[in-house]
Chain A
Amino acid sequence: MGYTITEKILMAHTDLKDIAPGQLINAKVDIALGNDITAPIAIREFRAAGGKEVFDREKIALVLDHFTPNKDISSAQQCKAVREFAVEHGVVHFYEGGQVGVEHALLPEKGIVLPGDLVIGADSHTCTYGAVGAFATGVGSTDLAAAMLEGELWFKVPASIKFIIYGRLAKWVSGKDLILHIIGRIGVDGALYQAMEFTGETISTLPMADRLSMANMAIEAGAKNGIFPPDAITEEYVRPRAKRPWKFYFSDPDAVYADVIEIDASKLEPQVAFPHLPSNVRGISDAGEVKIDQSLIGSCTNGRIEDLRVAAGILKNRKAAPHVRLIVVPATPLIYRQALQEGLLNIFMEAQAVISPPSCGACLGGHLGILAEGERAVATTNRNFVGRMGHPKSEVYLASPAVAAASAVLGRLASPDEL
């Protein structure tokens, strides 16, 4: 019997000759990630366990991206603790200040995570790296501590759900709309403990930026990981970035799946997830009249240069509606610089946008774009739980950069076709 890509990558990181869903295994970790919120607890646990040295200073990534630029004294203390640990242990992939980007945009961009890798991160959106054909999953701080110490961790081998997606995407329909549609269809626990494997003719031509957006939100369906079979698009993305060898894994034709779901993507229109669950999804034509106070374009889901190009294409020679706060967050310094050189930042400023430094702050209601009571935001982010972006009585509508840009101009949820 054959194996799925997820099973093959997990098995390759053990000494096992066979592997099956449900099995508990210990597997070697290629990259272990933490940020300014989760790493402080991991460091405390690491020290409490008598940790003297990290298992490999080149295989740990510490990214200070959540409450940075430091939002208050407590946040500054947390960053300081992580910085001191990084210096003490000579952690190679340590990012802060002008080098920091939103971690799940930064690590693929720098070629730190590669096809065939086993990546764990103390951040739930670590599943993003499945876009390049890696097994990547979010864990807690204690797991990060164990991985930094031992270089391996326990895993339960997940069963896989195969998504076969076919049909040509309509104008303004992106990977974000595909994943919102899928979560709307299977629910926020539709893939609980499982792997989501994205295949089919639509996927075979889907650009890397869209794949990253889709894998990013696998966790919003409860999945352990999301993964794409690597191909020429993966090769083109990885080759100029990688500084070490990588390996492509593919599911066997006779691999076993818990479920196979087919999706005709040609019928999709831009999607919006209404409050307060990412599964509360409607087509934009069914959105009705929803006035907004803020439009946020950015995050690990949609803060890449391709996303900013789409938004700028819509915002060019237009302005955000009166009393709508448009916030654009280039996800990494490289993306920021590209947006500057391509003239996108100028378009955003003409549209009266605030251009934020790379940060996760606004997405998780930390800082740099908090909502007041009763306010509504359309956001290109990944979560719209109660209080996610601010006051418990505020609302978040999840959508693509195209919808967020059009909505900013019209002051209500809108498709770019309405402009």
Chain B
Amino acid sequence: MIFKGRVWKFGDNIDTDAIIPARYLNTSDPAELAKHCMEDADPAFMSKMKPGDIIVGGENFGCGSSREHAPIAIKAAGISCVVAKSFARIFYRNSFNMGLPIFESGELADAIAEGDEIEIDSATGVITLSGSGRTFNISPIPPFMEKLIADGGLMKHIARK
């Protein structure tokens, strides 16, 4: 798949309380959760972002709670994918399980600036920075995860078995 969009940059250790604060967890409705996506990291985020945009984080993105509401909020907000230096493990698992594309790239987060446009080719594992044409490599997705994604997430994967 190809993902092309404007980059919104965040730092290290973006936790799930920042992605979707617990005060909004009295619902699991994706549209409601999306209204508050990234609110405690950047209160104006939802008024600035456009569907298709890409979040770029630093180390340990998605740390903290196991709430699946976090990847749900990001996906429902219209963010096409998340790139980070590393992901917290439950967030990593949840994203694959519910079909939010995420990619690990050590170099990218340092090299690009907010507002840059990038294109990600998940098949070739290459990220290209628009303008300069500079490229970055994505860490490969384990084959098991590829199958999970190809089946449309964990529950559909189970249904196919």
Q: Say whether A38 contacts B68, CB under 8 Å.
A: yes
Interface residues of chain A, those whose CB is within 8 Å of chain B, are: 24, 37-38, 40-41, 44-45, 48-50, 66-67, 71-72, 74-75, 78, 121-124, 126, 138-143, 145-146, 149-150, 154, 188-189, 192-193, 219, 222, 224, 277, 364-366, 383, 385-388, 392
Q: Say whether A140 contacts B28, CB under 8 Å.
A: no
7 A-B contact pairs sorted by A residue (CB < 8 Å): A45-B155, A123-B65, A146-B155, A150-B158, A383-B17, A385-B17, A386-B17
- With a CB–CB cut-off of 8 A, which chain B residues contact A44? 28
- With a CB–CB cut-off of 8 A, which chain B residues contact A150? 158
- With a CB–CB cut-off of 8 A, which chain B residues contact A149? 158
Q: Report the nearest A residue to B159, measured CB to CB.
A: A49
Q: Report the nearest A residue to B145, measured CB to CB.
A: A24
Q: How large is the interface on B (under 10, 10 to 19, 20 to 34, 35 or more residues)?
A: 35 or more
Q: Say whether A386 contacts B88, CB under 8 Å.
A: no
Q: Report the nearest B residue to A149, measured CB to CB.
A: B158
Bound-state Cα–Cα, A383 to B65, Å = 9
Shortest distance from the beta carbon of A283 to any chain B beta carbon, whole Å: 23
Bound-state Cα–Cα, A41 to B17, Å = 18
Q: Say whether B97 contacts A24, CB under 8 Å.
A: no
B40 at interface, CB cutoff 8 A: yes
Q: Say whether B40 contacts A142, CB under 8 Å.
A: no
How many residue pairs at the A-B interface have CB separations less than 8 Å? 133
B18 at interface, CB cutoff 8 A: yes
Cross-interface CB contact of B60 among A48, A67, A192, A366, cutoff 8 Å: A192
Q: Say whether B26 contacts A72, CB under 8 Å.
A: yes
Q: Say whether A49 contacts B155, CB under 8 Å.
A: yes
B9 at interface, CB cutoff 8 A: no
Cross-interface CB contact of A387 among B13, B21, B72, cutoff 8 Å: B21
Q: Say whether A24 contacts B144, CB under 8 Å.
A: yes
Shortest distance from the beta carbon of A169 to any chain B beta carbon, whole Å: 28
Given the known interface contacts A139-B93, A140-B90, A140-B94, the answer about A124 and B68 at a Cβ–Cβ threshold of 8 Å is: no
Interface residues of chain B, those whose CB is within 8 Å of chain A, are: 13, 15, 17-18, 21-23, 25-28, 39-41, 43, 59-60, 63-69, 71-72, 86, 88-90, 93-94, 97-98, 142, 144, 153-156, 158-159
Cross-interface CB contact of B18 among A121, A126, A193, A386, cutoff 8 Å: A386
Q: Say whether B66 contacts A123, CB under 8 Å.
A: yes
Bound-state Cα–Cα, A154 to B93, Å = 10
Q: Say whether B144 contacts A154, CB under 8 Å.
A: yes
Cross-interface CB contact of A189 among B65, B88, B142, B154, cutoff 8 Å: B88
Counting chain A CB atoms within 10 Å of each CB, the highest count among B28, B43, B71, B142 belongs to: B28
Q: Say whether A387 contacts B40, CB under 8 Å.
A: yes
Bound-state Cα–Cα, A150 to B69, Å = 23
Q: Say whether A222 contacts B26, CB under 8 Å.
A: no
Q: Report the nearest B residue to A121, measured CB to CB.
A: B66
Q: Say whether B67 contacts A38, CB under 8 Å.
A: yes
Given the known interface contacts A277-B13, A386-B40, A387-B17, the answer about A140 and B66 at a Cβ–Cβ threshold of 8 Å is: yes
Q: Say whether B88 contacts A222, CB under 8 Å.
A: yes
* New A-B pairs, 17, CB < 8 Å, besides A37-B22, A142-B68, A222-B88: A38-B66, A49-B156, A66-B25, A74-B27, A75-B26, A78-B27, A124-B65, A126-B66, A139-B94, A142-B98, A142-B153, A146-B155, A188-B60, A189-B88, A192-B86, A192-B88, A392-B21
